[in-house]
Amino acid sequence: MEYQTIIAQLPYTPPFLFVDGLTAVDLNGVSGFYTFKKEADFYRGHFKDNPITPGVLLTECCAQIGLVCLGIYLVTSSNTLSNEALQIALTSSEMEYYLPVYPDEKVYVTSEKIYFRFHKLKCKVKMHNAAGKLVCKGTIAGMLKSKTNE
């Protein structure tokens, strides 16, 4: 499957799309990248005179690349759900943060599948900066379902 095909199926658009590209995807994991643009509105208030990317957005970036992109790939590969009108909901996350991410900083996310069963996907995720230093890591889980199976 083409990486752009996976990205095109994401249920997000700017300014809430935190995936610029994917570098690898298979049945066990995914890796990709994103640059937090300095023009993003949240930098105006987080923090005054020292803009830093909020941790919740680092988690969201990890979830979009590490959980949602992988989920789309798994669903498409296994034909377990219709990938048309796919719904994805975050069910849990546990993250640890080590370094700040500044405006215009590019980050790299890697994800390793822990399990995918009964339409629930759980992954270990890590985010590194361009220097290869660990920014954050944790576990993220979500449920996938087709709108047609409501």
Is 128 catalytic? The answer is no
C-alpha span between 132 and 107 (Å, rounded): 9
C-alpha span between 43 and 119 (Å, rounded): 36
Could you tell me the strand order of the sheet in which 105-117 lies?
Answer: 21-26, 29-36, 105-117, 120-129, 134-146, 86-97
Residue in this structure with the two tokens 């339409």, named with its chain if needed:
119
> Which of the residues 20, 29, 46, 120 is marked catalytic?
46
Could you give the residue numbers annotated as active site? 46
